[in-house]
Amino acid sequence: MKLLVTGGAGYVGSVVTALLLEAGHDVTVLDDLSTGHRDAVPAGARTVVADVHNAADVLTPDTAAVLHFAAKSLVGESTTAPAEYWRTNVAGTLALLEAMDRHGVDRLVFSSTAAVYGEPASAAPLREDDPPVPTNPYGAGKLAVDRMLESWAHAYGLGAVSLRYFNVAGAHRGLGERHDPETHLLPNLLRAALEGTPARVHGTDHPTPDGTAVRDYLHVADLARAHLLALEAAVPGTHRVFNLGTGGGHSVREVVDTVRAVTGRPVAVHDGPRRPGDPSVLVASNERARTGLGWEPARGLAETVADAWEFTRARAAARETA
């Protein structure tokens, strides 16, 4: 199929693009490179450097579907600069949908987030029918897009699938996390392992077995594979929502211990206070994705850490020889 991938120069978008190309699809990547990297776009994809608001200039009537990753994604920044998040994530998606409608493109897979759920009332795995109560503009904007897609499906016959990510980690075929600033736990721990500098743990007084927050860590390749299945599951006139996670969680301490075991290095950590709004436990129920998409994760935490560690070392070696 001829496909458009918005945000395909970013972390998840680039890995999904790689899998789409491997499956034989014709892929165009649309990315403004504000946070993505041109060299992360896999060979074989056409790259158009432009804003998602200008998707109408890239779409053609023979485009079969769009996979939409283009977004701003820093939770903290969304609270201090909400206008940018509503403009890019919500208004940008509206512009994309209008362009799709004009060109007769009727299938979309959307990169949503567990942030739509806010702070869960219990530690039970979150289901798609649990009430969404976002606590920041980033989560609120993603939820607004989910609702926009539902109305678009009803009114215009769009076939849309929203995939709500929990904690994505790992690397695949030389593609990994390259955020600036980096706010995710695993790449920061691996940088600490590489450089011998301490990493910070946010909160040690959570009501969990070891006092640190528990999260559901999903390998990026497993996540990416779900997008190809979602592409096939996008049925005109319907909007479907799926959580993507392993169905289990690991505490920050467990992740630190796994990093030490995988790298063989004594990673030092400094304990700090909780960050405001940080849930103690955030774990996905993936039952709907298993039954509705035929998807299940294949990789565990140790393999996720090992792949991310290989990527981290390769990036460091490339910088040294540059």
Q: Encode the chain (322 residues) as per-residue pLDDT tens digits.
A: 999 999 999 999 999 999 999 999 999 999 999 999 999 999 999 999 999 999 999 999 999 999 999 999 988 899 999 999 999 999 999 999 999 999 999 999 999 999 999 989 888 899 999 999 999 999 999 999 999 999 999 999 999 999 999 999 999 999 999 988 888 999 999 999 999 999 999 999 999 999 999 999 999 999 999 999 999 999 999 999 999 999 999 999 999 999 999 999 999 999 999 887 788 999 999 999 999 999 999 999 999 999 999 999 999 998 888 7
User: What is residue 54's DSSP assignment?
Assistant: G
The residue behind tokens 């706010």 is 183
Q: What angle do CA 165, 138, 255 make, to 5 degrees?
A: 45
Query: What stretches of 208-300 show up as alpha helix (H) in DSSP?
Result: 220-233, 252-263, 287-293
Torsion (CA) 193, 195, 198, 203 in degrees, nearest 10:
-60
Number of other residues whose CB lies within 10 A of the CB of residue 12: 22
0.75 exceeded by pTM: yes
Q: Which domain holds residue 303?
A: 171-215+247-321
What does DSSP say about strands 281-282 and 239-244: parallel, antiparallel, or unpaired?
unpaired
Q: What is the CATH number of the domain that holds 114?
A: 3.40.50.720
138 is catalytic: yes
What is d(CA 171, CA 40) in angstroms, rounded to the nearest whole number?
12
The total number of structural domains in the chain stands at 2
- Same domain? For 105 and 189 the reply is no
**Bridge partner residues of 47 (DSSP):** 29
- Given 11, 138, 165, 217, the catalytic residue: 138
What is d(CA 112, CA 244) in angstroms, rounded to the nearest whole number?
10
- Same domain? For 137 and 251 the reply is no
